[in-house]
Each structure stands twice: as C-alpha cells, then as structure tokens.
A and B are shown apart, each in its own frame.
Chain A
Amino acid sequence: MADLVRVENLVKHFPIGGGLLGGPAGVVKAVDGISFTVRKGETLGLVGESGSGKSTTGRLLLRLIEPTSGKALFGDSELFGLGRSEMGGLRRKMQIVFQDPYGSLNPRMSVSNILREGLEPRRLSRLEQEAEISRLLDTVGLRSAHRNRYPHEFSGGQRQRIGIARALAVQPEFLIADEPVSALDVSIQAQVLNLLLDLQQTLGLTMLFIAHDLAVVRHMSDRIAVMYLGKIVELAPSERIYADPRHPYTRTLLAAIPRPDPDAAPARPPAESGSAEAGGCVFRARCSFAQAVCSQPPPLREIAPGQHSACHFAESLPDYAAGDQ
C-alpha cells in the first residue's frame, strides 16, 4: 500500500511563560521527534494519555498550529513548506472531526448552511448543493427533513454526525478524528464508531484516529502508534499491540484498563513515578525494566515485521499473555 501521509521527525515545543522579564522559562516538548506513515485507505490509531502529544500531532498535520521542526508529506506535497493558498487547497483533502461537536459547529447556522459552507469549493449549482446536502445527511444517518434545524436541537451523537457530514462535504481523502466519541454515551459511541468504519469502507478514506481509550482505538485501527510524553514508544498492527506488546509502557497501559468481565483480574496500577531525569528513555522513571543503558534515548526500531518499539529491551521483555495480567 502506498503512503498517503509521511511524517518525519516532527517536533513541537511550546514555551512555558514565567521566566525572567516575561520570557520563556522553558519548553514543553509536546511532540518530540516522531516519525510515522499513514497508508492509503488504512486507519492509523494514535493512543496515549494526557500530555502524550497525540492531539498536538493531529493539529500539526492540519497546520492548525505550526511545528517547531520536522517534515510532513501529504502525497507529494511538503505540508510545512506550503504557502497560505496552497495549504488552503490541500486542506480540502484533509478534514478533522473534534471531540466536542457542539464547540465546533456554529450555533447560529442551520445544518444545511453548515454543510453548504463545506460544499462551496466544489462550485455546485444551487440544485446540486441541495441534493448533496440530502445525500450527506443520509450518509451519516440523519433525516434530510432536519436540515433546517440548528445544532442545539440535536443530541450529542447527532451533533457528532453533523460534524462528520461537514468534514465529508469537501470530499476529503484524509480524515483526522480527534477523540470523536469520548464525549458520547456507550450506546451512541457504538453508533458513531460503526458509521466511521462504514464510511471508511465505502469512501476509501484514510484515517488518523486519535483517542485515549485503547479499546476504542484498537477497535478502529489497522495499526496503532502508542505515544508517551511526546514520543512514539510502540507502533504495530492492532492485533499485535494487544497480543504481544513490546514496550513496557504499552503493557502498563493495557494492564491499567478495567475489563468488562467479572472474571478478569483487577486493573493493575503502574509503578509510582520516580524522579524524572533529563534525557534518555521517556518512560524510564516508571519502568520496571529500566537499566543504566536507558539513559541513552532508545530509537523506534522495527523488531518484528511491522512492529516497532522504542525500548532497548524490546526483544528480551518477558513473554506476554494477553488478558492474563
């Protein structure tokens, strides 16, 4: 499969205020040199806890924020070198769906006007626009009769469907979904996840699916990148992440998830974090396998076909039995 998106050594540091004379007192390394590709037609999952840099990564790709350094290719275009107008053109091929559809939909615009905005670049006739709006609403499972309603008249799940319809209006090739279901109830979450799976199949969308819930990410993704403090610590096919994780942090994350199964062992809390020393492996302070060599930063390297781990001991970690924590 060809790569649609290729990210190389992407870095985003945010300055922290409070230094002398209002200058920066330091930096937060939100994204600290990550590389990955998204293949055409696949879903790459990006999972991590707060502060892992997963959402920042999504925003960088859309250039909603500017990177500190690094490269990102979309097809043949170098994203970060593009001028305003070129980026505008490319943005039609890339869309994002956010966690809170209410915050991202204009409350003063009816659903049909929200969608019409997305249709503008396609220069359709008035009649074609109306037909397209009906088709989009149907695609995401909303009634065309509701097109003149306003966002507040819909439930959370329906608003997320509107957000998805708006993203689809521009006929994107690449969809970034940033925590698209974390504000939704379980029964509604399942409806929206099914819709996204369905759309990907019928439209051949390429997706970057960002979420903190590993079960949800695994459900949606072909491959998963696990992030921790701005780094990708493991990147592997979804099945492998669960069956044979090869980074201690991935194992910590899996062990901490409570299973909806009365016979499962209780979730295991991670070790308390020790003092964080600068440099080296980002997980070192909490890692039970850490040794002296971990003060050297471990590169993300392929340790089995398609499976990458940023751990010096990836191959020698004890065998892992899925589910048996």
Chain B
Amino acid sequence: MAEIDDAPVLQVRGLKTHFFTDQGRVPAVDGIDLEIAQGRTLGLVGESGCGKSVTGLSIMRLIARPGKIVAGEVLLRGENLLKLPEREMRVRRGGEIGMIFQEPMTSLDPLFPISDPIVEALRAHRRVTSREALKQATALLADVGIPDPERRIRSYPHELSGGMRQRVMIAVALSCRPAVLIADEPTTALDVTVQAQILALQRELQREHGTAILLITHNLGLVAENCDTVAVMYAGKVVERAPKRSLFRGPRHPYTQGLLRAVPRLDHPPKQPLVTIPGIVPNPLRLPAGCRFRARCPWAIGKCAEEEPPLMAVGEAHASACWVQPEFAAAPPTVAGAKGAAA
C-alpha cells in the first residue's frame, strides 16, 4: 500500500477558463481553487454547465477554441503546467496525469484492437520495446479485472461490453502510473451494478499506487462513497468546499443544501414531495451581479444582489461562499412553489 503524503500533488489556483462565443464571453470556469493530496480523492460536483468538466479539461490543457484558459495556475508537484511548452505538456499528459471520460466507446478507436492505446501510452512515456509494452499491457488488463487478458488484448472495442471498455480506459489511464487521475463521470453511462465494479476497482488501484483522483460527477451517492473532500460548483464558481463528512452532515451553502434535499432516497417514504431548488441556472452570457445562485435561493438578502460572496471559512477545512451561511437543520424561509418557478 502506498504511503499517503498530505502535501498536495495537484493544486489549481485562480483558474479561469472562458469561452469566446459569437454571442459573447462565457465564463465557464471563473476563478476556482482546488487541491488534492496523494492517495486522496476530491469530488467535484455540480449540475450540467457548472464548469466541472471544463475544469478537468483545463487541468489537462485540453481546452480547444473558442475556449481559453485566461488566468490561474495548475501546479503539479509545484510545477505550473500552464507555463509548459506543449511538447513538455504532452509528456505530463498520460505520463503523470491520466484522464478517463464518461463514454469509453468514443475515446477508443474502433479500428484498432484495445492493445493499441495501452501500448501507445506505454511507448510514449516509457522506454520499452513493443514486445515488452504488449506484455505490460496484458498485465494491466489483468489488473483491471478483464478475464482472459492474453486473448482479450486482441479484441476490438465493439467486442467488449460498456463496463469492459471502461476497464480498458482505466488501464490506458493508469498504464504509466500517473500521480493524478481525472475521472470525468466515469460510470454515468454504465449500469449500477457495473458502476459498483468499476469504482471498487478504482479505489483498489488508488490504494495500491497512491493516485490522487479528481472525481467529476453529478451523483452525490458516488461522492459520499468515493471521496475524501468535495468541492461543489455552481455557474463557474466553487460555492462550497469541505471534507466529505462536513459537507453531507452540515452543508452551509444553500445550493449544496438544496441538492442534498432534492435527491430521492431509498430510505425515505415513497410518494412524498421532494424539496426542490426552484428555477434554473442563470444564462452564462448574462450572469447576475452579486451571488450567482441568489435568484433560486430561499435565503437571499439584499447584500446578495450587490456583492459576490467569496469562499469564507466556516469550519475545519470547510468553506462556503454565502453571506447568510444558514445551518442545514434550519428550515428555509418559504418561497413560491417549485411548480410555478420553473418557467
């Protein structure tokens, strides 16, 4: 088992990634700070369009036009990746930071057997012969739980199930023992029983190699199960950051509180109305002044419209960007029913 060193392997500071569209500038990621220590998992949660996937791609420097990283630093063991020439970045990518995506079929080339991407990754980052790379690739497939790896390594992507393809992607991402793994909705396209297998595998490999993982997901169950710390994003900002337990037991941002209340639970009585977050996310081209969540927030006060709340410490390693910082147990002031609020 790998030693856990609490110094962060990956630090993101003041990251801003904006998209310069024909309609105007979209601040998809708008000044966020994150850090992950060796062997730890940071969950990045939020709903579609909040900027969580763009954050992952920014760390990998995979932002294409019209997107651009306009400010900030991405520090890998203290080295700013955003300052590296592309040639050097290519060595880090795959070698020191691996990434897996939601849909393994689109990230595997259907024309090549699955051995191909693994061998390619190994040869790009390690000085090994093709024969040695193939041997290592076979061993990797065995590591990620693919039965009969000697035969399977010659399979093409379409011959494998979704779960098996995602295992191959994990094998590719982990082939060079990266210090950091970015997993962007790695199991969203999979059945729940297969998801459980993939995440158990990911946790096991993390324990073995001490990988720092950024788990990007919309699923709060996966966060509770897999993460040590959590950052919640809303409209391009991190609105709350906390150790997992504090976040689930005592969330202090009204958006986090709303998300936790809105999820149907297996242990709640059926057919009871859920507490909802009224309304929808703001148009990123016309973000409101002040707090970006205020139009949907039952706690909003005058100050929320005037000044954007920064992340403020509310507990041990726990920060929330809210002027009110309500306690989770407190009932929110009543707002107009969710039904009318959607239009």
Report chain A residues within 8 Å CB of B274.
190, 193-194, 219
Minimum CB distance partner of B200 in chain A: A269
Stretch from A21-29, A68-76, A84-92, A153-161 contacting the other chain: A153-161
CB pair B191 A215 closer than 8 Å: no
Minimum CB distance partner of B340 in chain A: A141
The verdict on B343 contacting chain A, using a C-beta distance below 8 Å, is: yes
Report chain A residues within 8 Å CB of B280.
155, 157-158, 188
A79 to B18, CA, bound (A): 55
Q: From the candidates A143, A157, A185, A266, name the one contacting B200 in the complex (CB within 8 A).
A: A266
Minimum CB distance partner of A50 in chain B: B191
CB pair A257 B267 closer than 8 Å: no
A259 to B192, CA, bound (A): 12
The verdict on A277 contacting chain B, using a C-beta distance below 8 Å, is: no
Shortest CB–CB separation between residue A300 and chain B, in angstroms? 21
A222 to B197, CA, bound (A): 30
Minimum CB distance partner of A51 in chain B: B191
Report chain B residues within 8 Å CB of A260.
220-221, 223-224, 248, 260, 263, 265
8 Å CB interface, B255-313 against A = 258-260, 262-278, 280
Q: From the candidates A187, A215, A218, A261, name the one contacting B259 in the complex (CB within 8 A).
A: A187
Shortest CB–CB separation between residue A202 and chain B, in angstroms? 11
A290 to B8, CA, bound (A): 48
Q: From the candidates A195, A197, A252, A258, name the one contacting B222 in the complex (CB within 8 A).
A: A258
- Residue-wise, chain A 196-214 has the 8 Å CB interface mask toward B (1 for contact) of 0110000000000000111
Report chain B residues within 8 Å CB of A293.
none
8 Å CB interface, B196-224 against A = 196-197, 199-200, 203, 218-224
Contacts A258-B225, A259-B224: A158 and B342 contacting too (C-beta < 8 A)? yes
- Residue-wise, chain B 25-47 has the 8 Å CB interface mask toward A (1 for contact) of 00000000000000000000001
A197 to B192, CA, bound (A): 25
CB pair A189 B262 closer than 8 Å: yes
A142 to B276, CA, bound (A): 16
Contacts A49-B191, A158-B342, A253-B192: A197 and B271 contacting too (C-beta < 8 A)? yes
A201 to B178, CA, bound (A): 54
A191 to B274, CA, bound (A): 8
CB pair B192 A49 closer than 8 Å: yes
The verdict on B48 contacting chain A, using a C-beta distance below 8 Å, is: yes
Report chain A residues within 8 Å CB of B223.
260
A269 to B225, CA, bound (A): 13
The size class of the interface chain B forms with chain A is 35 or more
Shortest CB–CB separation between residue A238 and chain B, in angstroms? 4
Report chain A residues within 8 Å CB of B195.
256, 258, 267
Minimum CB distance partner of A158 in chain B: B342
CB pair B262 A322 closer than 8 Å: no
Report chain A residues within 8 Å CB of B267.
242, 322-323
The verdict on A264 contacting chain B, using a C-beta distance below 8 Å, is: yes
CB pair B264 A256 closer than 8 Å: no
Report chain A residues within 8 Å CB of B219.
258
Q: Which of A186, A191, A252 has the most CB of B within 10 A?
A: A186
The verdict on B339 contacting chain A, using a C-beta distance below 8 Å, is: yes
Report chain A residues within 8 Å CB of B160.
none
A320 to B77, CA, bound (A): 47
The verdict on A122 contacting chain B, using a C-beta distance below 8 Å, is: no
CB pair B192 A190 closer than 8 Å: no
The verdict on B2 contacting chain A, using a C-beta distance below 8 Å, is: no
The verdict on A221 contacting chain B, using a C-beta distance below 8 Å, is: yes
Shortest CB–CB separation between residue A113 and chain B, in angstroms? 18
Contacts A187-B47, A215-B264, A270-B196: A141 and B342 contacting too (C-beta < 8 A)? yes
The verdict on B71 contacting chain A, using a C-beta distance below 8 Å, is: no
List 13 contacting pairs A-B, 8 Å CB cutoff, sorted by A: A50-B191, A158-B343, A187-B276, A189-B262, A191-B338, A191-B342, A242-B267, A253-B192, A254-B266, A257-B266, A259-B221, A260-B265, A267-B196
Known: A141-B339, A257-B266, A260-B220. 19 other contacts (CB 8 A): A141-B343, A158-B342, A186-B259, A187-B277, A191-B278, A191-B338, A194-B276, A197-B273, A222-B270, A242-B266, A258-B219, A260-B224, A260-B248, A261-B248, A262-B224, A264-B224, A266-B226, A267-B199, A272-B147
